Amino acid sequence: MGKILLVVVLLISSFTEYAQNYGLYFNEGANNNQEVTGIDLTGRRSFKIADEFTVVFDLQLRSDRQTKFGYILRIIGDKGANLGIIYDNFSEGKNDIVLIAGQDFTSISLDINDLNLIDQWGQIRLEVDLVQDIASFIIGDTLCTAVNIGLRGQHLFNFFFGANSMSNFETTNVPAMNVRDIYLQIDNKRELHWPLNEHSGNFADGGENHRKALVTNPVWLAIRHIEWEFEEKDSYPGKIALEDLYFHKFHKDTLKQEKLLFPDSLWHYAFASDPLKSNYYIFGGFNGKAYRNSMLEYDSNSSRWNEIEAGGSAVTPRYLSAMGIDDSGDSLFILGGYGSKSGNPLLNPHFYSDFWAYSIQDSVFSKLFDYEEGFGTHAFGRTMIIDSIENCYYALKFNPLSKNTKLQLIKGNLRNPKWNIMADPVPYSFIPEKSDIALFYHAGDKKMFCLTSYYSDSLDQTILKSYSLYYPPGVPLEIIQEQASVRRMWIWIILIILLDTAVLVIITVRKRRFKHDEKKESEYVPGFFSKDLLENNWKSDDLDKETVLPDNRIYLLGGFQFYLGPDQEISGKFSPILKELFLLILLYSSQDENGASVKKLLEQIWGDMSLKNAKNNLSVNINKLRVIIGPEMSELLVHVSGYWKFDLSDKKDLVFCDFWETWRILRSENRSNEVQILNLIHLTKRGGLLLNTNYEWLDSFKANISNEIIDLLVEYSEQHNIKDNLELYLNIADTIFLFDMINEHAVEIKCKTLVALGKHSMAKDTYNAFIRDYKMLYDEDFPVPLKELIS
């Protein structure tokens, strides 16, 4: 049994590398107080504490801070007393972390320069004894105590990090800080933990304690190590090497003073640089006639690239390789590429999956290993990042055989053939003669930069695009979720092994019950009518009866209405921009499981703004939207991998949306039965989609749902005999007219039904109104006379 448990521990520990880069980045809101970040651990229920509590959290103060002071943590009692940890650079001569009690400074004041918290993590521990009215403050090896803190007699507490909006205690003063792993221990009995390892959303999961914390204006650190951020697009006159553009980007005078004069006739060589020693190297490349395998070194005195005579094993000629230099500047590493043994592009060219080292001092190549699981049809951006401390490298791989491909970051080991996918991919268009790719690390920003360049003949310009990613990169979210699923699977396996036969029987029973419930759920058909209604001879009046719905309701058919609660309509609280933002996310979420991409939202609403301003506006309005729709509905508004989604897929008991339910019917397998047709008629009785709302992007949604509804109703009417259910067919015709007032099927159905009911004059009036509208719209007579239409 001990061996089994050891295996479990090892399996679980193997996932820890995926959770290293997490926490919450607090926006200090230097330019906009509405953007400041805050955490409310309490939510709707204050914590009841009898004798004592301890708060522990990891803190990192950012060196780019602009604020002079702000709350790190604030604890507020039910009788108005409060305790706070603040950053103080406002008071004269201060650059401290300070503990305050009520409106007074305590004796605890620590210089942040002595605490090793600037751009690195440190643990803060605050222990409060309510009986003795004492607070102990611990950072590293430093212990300070404050007495008479004013919390004696308080027993209900709220806990806030950063900004908070609690009445009489509101604050938007927030330091530039990052926080993670918050622990709260109450009366030595109850411990709560918020890791802050989310990737999106406004809630921090409390794990097993099931206590979610509300986060305003969150910037989750984990996603910044996974999603590349588009930085900018620049253009430069002439054809300029990508490396020169990089040096210019971070060293503004490089293009003027230190342009390296890269060989124009050589394509897709590998490149590495040691700026501290002013050493630059090129390996391989393609000159239009042959692949090369020479190593070139830049001579700054002559401004020339000189070939080095290298010994050791021979590297086959190639291009589209990656090269990097170690921290010491002693060794170069070369990864993969495309070429041939002879260098001739006609004689068996192929992709390589090998890894080489080159000793700069000895001028010797040595092959380290081949990858048993190769990279397939993948080449590499010309540069690699080498992390000598971790003995790893980072490179960008892509498929050069496809024009529209993706750049995928990989992490490999310098000692053995192991590599992993890292971060999300970057879209890329590859044109061999005109485009280049490189990967760099900028220590000042602690970021990796993916740079792509493209030379335009017509403009005689080199166009540079840059993307940034916080270092070290994280594993893509999809892989994290997959690994978490595997981890949960192993935990369940071990639990089953440890349980005895009786428990296994119980589990088996529960599994069967779950499968039964799952089957029932899969058979769920959204709507309002059932077979019972059909058996009791429904009437048209039944279609107008009020149906029992959740308190939260969103109506899009007819016009826009949003009810939050049974009688609280909040439609009027939506500004024009908020309304368009909400509708974009909701409608795209109904059609695409990913929702609406950030790019789509920025283009449709803020397309005339700069990318930075557009993103700021999106962030501000998302938060405004959350405030309007409330915390319960805000949980349905999620951000995942560059998409915003309003997820109603399994929330039928929480919120009703007529458009969403209509789309479910249109996509259900049994949509053509009478129950579903009745449901569809009931849902659409208010009219077409957002009748009084007009956006250019909305037209396709209006057209699609109108066409789908009409097609289904026409399909049903053609498969059945009108005389079988005259009342249903009247409703089908009227529903089609709601979406298309000049629909020939609808007028035929309605006139035939009215005649069958003996209402000949009404049939004639319906026909005359139709041919009048038809003439007005098409400027021609309707070609089918009434007698022929109803025959």
Instruction: State the average pLDDT for the chain.
Output: 82
Beta bridge partners of 435: 454
What percent of the chain clears pLDDT 90, i.e. is strictly above it?
31
For the segment 585-614, what is each residue's pLDDT rounded down to a tens digit? 999 988 888 888 888 899 889 887 878 778
Predicted confidence at residue 385, as pLDDT, reads 95
In this prediction, residues 674-700 reach a mean pLDDT of 85
Predicted confidence at residue 323, as pLDDT, reads 97
- For the entire predicted model, the pTM comes to 0.57
Predicted confidence at residue 791, as pLDDT, reads 78
C-alpha pair distances (Å), 702 with each of 121, 217, 427, 647, 743:
52, 33, 31, 21, 16
Q: How many CA atoms lie within 13 A of 279 on its CB side?
A: 17
In this prediction, residues 85-109 reach a mean pLDDT of 86
- pLDDT exceeds 80 at position 542: no
- Answer yes or no: are the C-beta atoms of 567 and 553 closer than 8 Å: no
Two tokens, residue 715? 């399909």
d(CA 26, CA 464): 31
Q: What angle do CA 557, 562, 568 make, to 5 degrees?
A: 140
The secondary structure of residue 694, as a DSSP letter, is -
Beta bridge partners of 254: none
- Split at pLDDT 50, 70, 90, the class of 30 is low
In this prediction, residues 633-662 reach a mean pLDDT of 83
Predicted confidence at residue 241, as pLDDT, reads 85
The secondary structure of residue 123, as a DSSP letter, is E
- Answer yes or no: are the C-beta atoms of 702 and 690 closer than 8 Å: yes
- pLDDT exceeds 80 at position 566: no
- Of 156-160, 176-180, 585-589, the poorest mean pLDDT is in 585-589
Which of the two residues, 245 and 10, has the higher pLDDT score?
245
- Of 12-26, 359-373, 710-724, the poorest mean pLDDT is in 12-26
- pLDDT exceeds 70 at position 538: no
- pLDDT exceeds 90 at position 451: yes
In this prediction, residues 529-543 reach a mean pLDDT of 47
- pLDDT exceeds 80 at position 515: no
For the segment 323-350, what is each residue's pLDDT rounded down to a tens digit? 999 988 899 999 999 999 999 999 999 9
Pairing of strands 96-101, 419-429: unpaired
Two tokens, residue 312? 């050791």
- pLDDT exceeds 60 at position 507: no
Predicted confidence at residue 347, as pLDDT, reads 93
CB atoms within 10 A of CB 665: 22
In this prediction, residues 617-640 reach a mean pLDDT of 86
Predicted confidence at residue 15, as pLDDT, reads 38
- Of 500-509, 667-676, 678-687, the poorest mean pLDDT is in 500-509
Q: Which amino acid is at 592?
A: D
Predicted confidence at residue 536, as pLDDT, reads 44
H-helix or E-strand spanning residue 274: strand 270-274
- pLDDT exceeds 90 at position 775: no
- pLDDT exceeds 80 at position 628: yes
Predicted confidence at residue 499, as pLDDT, reads 56
- Of 263-272, 498-507, 509-518, 753-762, the poorest mean pLDDT is in 509-518
- Long-range contacts (CB closer than 8 Å, 24 or more residues apart) made by 405-413: 405/429, 405/430, 407/381, 407/437, 407/450, 407/452, 409/439, 409/448, 409/450, 409/469, 409/473, 411/473, 412/335, 412/355
For the segment 251-301, what is each residue's pLDDT rounded down to a tens digit? 654 444 456 677 778 889 999 988 677 788 999 999 989 999 999 998 877
C-alpha pair distances (Å), 358 with each of 7, 296, 444:
40, 12, 28
Predicted confidence at residue 259, as pLDDT, reads 62
Cα torsion through 286, 287, 293, 299, rounded to 10 = -120
In this prediction, residues 475-495 reach a mean pLDDT of 52
For the segment 35-68, what is each residue's pLDDT rounded down to a tens digit? 899 999 987 678 999 999 999 999 999 887 777 7
- Split at pLDDT 50, 70, 90, the class of 145 is very high
Name the H helices within 396-476.
none
Which of the two residues, 79 and 316, has the higher pLDDT score?
316
- Split at pLDDT 50, 70, 90, the class of 93 is low
- Split at pLDDT 50, 70, 90, the class of 408 is very high
- pLDDT exceeds 90 at position 194: yes
Predicted confidence at residue 409, as pLDDT, reads 96
Predicted confidence at residue 324, as pLDDT, reads 96
Predicted confidence at residue 208, as pLDDT, reads 61
- Split at pLDDT 50, 70, 90, the class of 492 is very low
- pLDDT exceeds 60 at position 535: no
510: exposed, middle or buried (Cβ count in 10 Å: 0-12, 13-18, 19+) = exposed
In this prediction, residues 423-427 reach a mean pLDDT of 90
- pLDDT exceeds 80 at position 733: yes
In this prediction, residues 166-195 reach a mean pLDDT of 90
